[in-house]
Amino acid sequence: MVRTFAGMSIIRVALDVPVAKLFDYRAQEASAADVGHRVLVPFGRKTAVGVIVELARSTAVPEERLKGVIRILQEFPPLAAEDLRLLRFAADYYHHPLGAVVMGALPTRLRRVAGPPRLKKRGPVMPQEAGPAVRTAPLEAAAAPELTTEQMRAVSSIRAGLGGFHPFLLLGVTGSGKTEVYLHAVAAALEAGRQALVLVPEIALTPQLEALVQHRFPGTPTVSLHSALAEAERLEHWRAACSGQARIVLGTRLAVFAPLPELGLIVVDEEQDSSFKQGEGFRYSARDLAVVRARQRGVPVVLASATPALETYHNAVSGRYTLLTLSHRIGAPPPRISCIDMRGDKLSDGVSERLLTALRERVAAGEQALVFINRRGYAPVLMCRSCGWVSGCQRCSARLVLHLQERRLRCHHCGHVSPAPAACPDCGNQDLAPVGHGTQRVEEALSRLIPQARILRIDRDTTRQRRAWRAMRERIQERNVDILVGTQILAKGHDFPHLNLVGVLNADSQLYSGDFRAAERLFALLTQVAGRAGRGGIQGEVLIQTEFPHHPLYAALRVQDYRAFADDALAERRQAGFPPFLHQALLRAEAPRLDTALEFLGAAARRGSALDRQVTAYDPVPAALPRRAGRERAQLLVQSASRSRLRDFLDAWSKALTSSAPTRARWSIDVDPLEF
């Protein structure tokens, strides 16, 4: 029964609870101006903070059970209608509870009941006197290089698109000056009196870009938004963004939700990067939401990459996005890429003679080199040669990685750590063998094989602290390092002008993976890694160790022809029926027992097949990593050629699943999944 209460305001509140509904409260004094404000409400026996998402005329809650709000919190600017619109879209599209989506978009401090921080009172902020949070650049602008013809064409195209929704794919080989192009686009947006939002994949990349932006835009208040900021700082930056004080906002994926009243341009750099997709809980793609947001706000969005996601590239070649191409590397010619056939070369600890010789030569010439191996630790597994025991994680279907320096075994999936055993736990054999190679082992081998080289290992283990990473970058820049050994942390966006040789170990493992996106990812990763070589004027050299030197992926990589690779890959996807020609979603389930998860998915599949026969539901299967942190995981793939059809299906399906019999399985829907 729906009741209306004359003369009484009812508000609908988004609360951070795992149910897809809003909660109604009585709020005598509420008006339309309160929509978007936070509100303190009684919830169960507790007090909770929520956000008012709408006013209501009526409620299904009986009068005696309709509670009143405690207080509307007005000390911060409310979320604007357009911010709420994006959050609603995201909640609908990804089938995640609106309350969790709305509250998750706020800085942590604003989600908490206790001690909402006091807003510092400030007059209009002049660039020079901006608070510590909002950085302003020195007043002298750093000289921007004169743009190339291709860059100019790209910039004027984006410029012409200001003031309306225009999606662009800025496709440019590494070092072709994409950053320069989008900084000019940012300048144009600023001149038009608008704010610019720039999304980057890695927190580690923000300081570098921040420094560049500050030099380029003197006196322009700029803030960064990412999860590594201290709470107080993040709140201050968020406030600066939503008050309009900050004119440039740089951030990682969560910044896509930052309220920006005068938004005029969105840039997504390295748009193919998997970190734009949240891998847990609310599994949104910040890249895709950036496009949605640009459409809602009627502003251009620039997706920049040397190796765009095939979905994005497809949108560009099919004319939905405007394709802007930068085909020349600035300065030096593109790096020379070749394969080292490992079948014909002697290996020392996984490193071929040819690569060793090349490394020695660069070191002798006073140049820097990078050895790339996408695996941290010493060896991916410890093994007993006498009985066949291997170091497995008790809680995951994964191997424990040997970290020799700490003499520990670590699970890279659940974080489990145990001391490395001195003898085989099964047979007592004391001669345990590390199998395979990780960064630590390569570092150790190279220091033995090239003793004169100063070697620096850069992976998640050595860069956990931001300060450590900054110090390392300085060491590299000051040329106190000869050889870098690193994982993909090093692949992204860094500019090391003295680095002229890149060696790639162990790339083959990705060539024949079961994941249909593996080749696309490998091509992107190797292009990025290769792009680190030869940025200072000398032609770079890239040596890839492989057992498959004639594989078509390496052939396309050698000539650095992304488009040839992408056109082929798209043709294959079209033929085989994969995204972007189909749209997919996964129903994921996990439970203490695999049976429970599979049974839940089986029942879900039966319910689904009754809903829409045009949506294909596959059989439930265990996940690629079937056990993680003691829970069994399984999934069910559904797909359709029509996105809207899939969306309607998911909508009805998730409602049906929510209202069906309780299960011990925890489930969630992953729309446009990237991991299987």
Q: Report the SS3 class of residue 470.
A: helix
Among 303, 396, 484, 526, binds Zn ion (CB under 5 A): 396
Should residue 580 be labelled a site residue for ligand ADP when binding is judged by CB under 6 A?
A: no
- Residue placing its CB nearer to ligand ADP in the complex, 271 or 590: 271
Both tokens of 493, joined, read 């966006």
Phi-psi region of 109 (alpha: psi -120 to 50; beta: other; left: phi over 0): alpha
Q: Which range, of 270-278, 410-418, 542-550, 587-595, touches Zn ion by CB under 5 A?
A: 410-418
Both tokens of 354, joined, read 């040819």
* Strands (E) located in 505-582: 541-546
Interacting partner of 147 out of ligand ADP, Zn ion, none (Cβ under 5 to 8 A depending on kind):
ligand ADP
Should residue 180 be labelled a site residue for ligand ADP when binding is judged by CB under 6 A?
A: yes
CB 136 within 8 A of CB 220: yes
- Sequence-distant (6+) residues with CB within 8 A of 189 are 162, 195, 196, 264, 265
Q: Are strands 336-341 and 408-410 parallel, antiparallel or unpaired?
A: unpaired
Among 414, 543, 591, 671, binds Zn ion (CB under 5 A): 414
Instruction: Tell me the closest approach of the beta carbon of residue 426 to Zn ion, in angstroms.
Output: 5
Binding to ligand ADP in span 466-505, by CB under 6 A? 495
Q: Which range, of 97-105, 178-186, 188-196, 224-232, touches ligand ADP by CB under 6 A?
A: 178-186
Nearest CA-CA partner of 256 in 116, 382, 94: 94
Q: Which range, of 36-44, 278-286, 413-421, 448-456, touches Zn ion by CB under 5 A?
A: 413-421
Should residue 332 be labelled a site residue for ligand ADP when binding is judged by CB under 6 A?
A: no
- Residue placing its CB nearer to ligand ADP in the complex, 309 or 601: 309
Interacting partner of 426 out of Zn ion, ligand ADP, none (Cβ under 5 to 8 A depending on kind):
Zn ion
- Sequence-distant (6+) residues with CB within 8 A of 440 are 376, 377, 378, 403, 404, 405, 457
Q: What is residue 165's DSSP assignment?
A: -
Interacting partner of 179 out of Zn ion, ligand ADP, none (Cβ under 5 to 8 A depending on kind):
ligand ADP
35-58: string of b/e by CB count within 10 Å (b at 16+)?
bbbbbbbebeeeebbbbbbeeeee
Among 9, 59, 136, 176, binds ligand ADP (CB under 6 A): 176
Interacting partner of 639 out of ligand ADP, Zn ion, none (Cβ under 5 to 8 A depending on kind):
none
- Residue placing its CB nearer to ligand ADP in the complex, 38 or 216: 216
Should residue 188 be labelled a site residue for Zn ion when binding is judged by CB under 5 A?
A: no
Interacting partner of 427 out of Zn ion, ligand ADP, none (Cβ under 5 to 8 A depending on kind):
Zn ion
Instruction: Tell me the closest approach of the beta carbon of residue 161 to ligand ADP, in angstroms.
Output: 20
Give the C-alpha separation, 550 to 338, whole Å: 11
Give the C-alpha separation, 184 to 178, whole Å: 10
Q: How far is CA 240 from CA 104, 133, 158, 198, in A?
A: 18, 9, 26, 15
Should residue 397 be labelled a site residue for Zn ion when binding is judged by CB under 5 A?
A: no
Instruction: Tell me the closest approach of the beta carbon of residue 200 to ligand ADP, in angstroms.
Output: 11
Both tokens of 100, joined, read 């969790």
Should residue 423 be labelled a site residue for Zn ion when binding is judged by CB under 5 A?
A: no
Among 191, 426, 572, 595, binds Zn ion (CB under 5 A): 426
How many CA atoms lie less than 13 Å away from 48 in the CB half-sphere? 20
Interacting partner of 387 out of ligand ADP, Zn ion, none (Cβ under 5 to 8 A depending on kind):
Zn ion
* Burial class (CB within 10 angstroms; exposed 0-12, middle 13-18, buried 19+) of 18: exposed
Interacting partner of 148 out of ligand ADP, Zn ion, none (Cβ under 5 to 8 A depending on kind):
ligand ADP
Instruction: Tell me the closest approach of the beta carbon of residue 497 to ligand ADP, in angstroms.
Output: 8
**3-state DSSP percent of the chain in helix, strand and coil, to 5:** 35, 25, 40
Residues 139-158: x/- map of binding to ligand ADP (CB under 6 A)?
------xxxx--x-------
- Sequence-distant (6+) residues with CB within 8 A of 507 are 374, 522, 526, 544, 545, 546
Interacting partner of 107 out of Zn ion, ligand ADP, none (Cβ under 5 to 8 A depending on kind):
none
Q: Which range, of 176-184, 287-295, 350-358, 376-384, touches ligand ADP by CB under 6 A?
A: 176-184
Question: Sheet harboring 38-43: ordered strands across?
Answer: 23-26, 10-15, 46-56, 38-43, 71-73
- Residue placing its CB nearer to Zn ion in the complex, 410 or 457: 410
Interacting partner of 151 out of Zn ion, ligand ADP, none (Cβ under 5 to 8 A depending on kind):
ligand ADP
Q: Report the SS3 class of residue 96.
A: coil
- Residue placing its CB nearer to ligand ADP in the complex, 174 or 322: 174
Interacting partner of 98 out of Zn ion, ligand ADP, none (Cβ under 5 to 8 A depending on kind):
none
Q: What is residue 399's DSSP assignment?
A: B
Should residue 175 be labelled a site residue for ligand ADP when binding is judged by CB under 6 A?
A: yes
Among 275, 429, 616, 639, binds Zn ion (CB under 5 A): 429
Question: Sheet harboring 541-546: ordered strands across?
Answer: 336-341, 541-546, 499-504, 368-372, 483-486, 455-458
Should residue 260 be labelled a site residue for Zn ion when binding is judged by CB under 5 A?
A: no
Phi first, then psi, for residue 231 (nearest 5°) are -55, -45
Should residue 307 be labelled a site residue for ligand ADP when binding is judged by CB under 6 A?
A: no
Q: Report the SS3 class of residue 350.
A: coil
- Residue placing its CB nearer to Zn ion in the complex, 166 or 627: 627
Q: At what angle are helices 178-191 and 149-161 packed, to 10 degrees?
A: 40
- Residue placing its CB nearer to ligand ADP in the complex, 172 or 201: 172
If you write DSSP's letter for every residue of 229-245 in order, what string do you get? S-HHHHHHHHHHHHHT-
How big is the site for ligand ADP, counted in residues (CB under 6 A)?
15
Q: Which range, of 74-82, 175-183, 568-576, 655-663, touches ligand ADP by CB under 6 A?
A: 175-183
Interacting partner of 578 out of ligand ADP, Zn ion, none (Cβ under 5 to 8 A depending on kind):
none
Among 161, 177, 335, 380, binds ligand ADP (CB under 6 A): 177
Instruction: Tell me the closest approach of the beta carbon of residue 313 to ligand ADP, in angstroms.
Output: 16
**Interacting residue ranges for Zn ion, rule: CB under 5 A:** 384, 386-387, 389, 393, 395-396, 411, 413-414, 416, 424, 426-427, 429
Contacts to ligand ADP by CB under 6 A = 145-148, 151, 172, 174-180, 330, 495
